[in-house]
Amino acid sequence: MIDLHTHSLFSDGELIPSELVRRVEFLGYYAVAITDHSDASNLDFIIPRIIQVADDLNRSQPVKVIPGVELTHIPPKSIGFFVSRARELGARLVLVHGETIVEPVAPGTNKAAIEARVDILAHPGLISDEDTSLAVENGVLLEISARAGHSFTNGHVAGLAKNAGAGLVLNSDAHSPGDLMAREFAHKVVEGAGLPSGSLSSLLSNARQLLEKIGYPL
Ligand SMILES: [Zn+2]
Ligand SMILES: [Zn+2]
């Protein structure tokens, strides 16, 4: 298993990064990205610290740990700037907190994130056909979310992605240890999104390809 969207206590997750990683190791994962919520207030604080712990853990245990970030509730006008800033600071995986229907995420966030070529647009809610096509063009993966609430629109995201040929990836968006997915549960979330049974392996293969692209081959 691979999970490219998790939170530690550097934002609103419950676990220190080392415990998060130990728990996914125990579940048999190959790789995990730590992607804490970030904006102008904390980007330069979080990223170097996550890089530090990822470097240490990558020397000392088998799960590949990818230092990432989830840019969250940043006004769409500023998203492009902060995607570049996050990469300059060394984030290897940049997510944007997309237009989930359970929060008042600013309209235009999905589009701005895709235009800025983030790696993954997290929980894109009722993403439009136009933005889905742009995601294909810009190589942005769309997220199928296992998180309660964000997952309400998984069927919509999966349907549009299938029609447009957009790449999908399954993430837990874990904030607590109980949010981390066993493989059996991951299969159910994928099927629950309306994807054919057995699709988990193609979503994992998309995650693996992204890891290769950013320098973490499995
Ligand atoms: Zn989010
Ligand atoms: Zn998140």
Q: What is the mean pLDDT of residues 14-27?
A: 98
Nearest-angstrom CA–CA distance, 75 and 93: 20
Nearest-angstrom CA–CA distance, 207 and 118: 14
- Supply the DSSP symbol for 14: S
Residues with CB under 5 A from ligand 1 (ion): 97, 122
Amino acid at 131: D
Question: Which ligand lies nearest to the CA atom of residue 35 in the structure?
Answer: 2
Q: Is the pTM of this model over 0.85?
A: yes
**Burial (0-12, 13-18, 19+ Cβ within 10 Å), 10:** buried
Distance 102 CA to ligand 1 centre (A): 11
Question: In this predicted structure, what is the pLDDT of residue 196?
Answer: 95
Nearest-angstrom CA–CA distance, 196 and 88: 39
Question: In this predicted structure, what is the pLDDT of residue 72?
Answer: 98
Distance 72 CA to ligand 1 centre (A): 7
Question: In this predicted structure, what is the pLDDT of residue 213?
Answer: 97
Distance 136 CA to ligand 2 centre (A): 22
pLDDT in tens, 160-216: 999 999 999 999 999 999 999 999 999 999 999 999 999 999 999 999 999 999 999
Distance 37 CA to ligand 2 centre (A): 7
Question: In this predicted structure, what is the pLDDT of residue 208?
Answer: 98
Question: Which ligand lies nearest to the CA atom of residue 8 in the structure?
Answer: 2
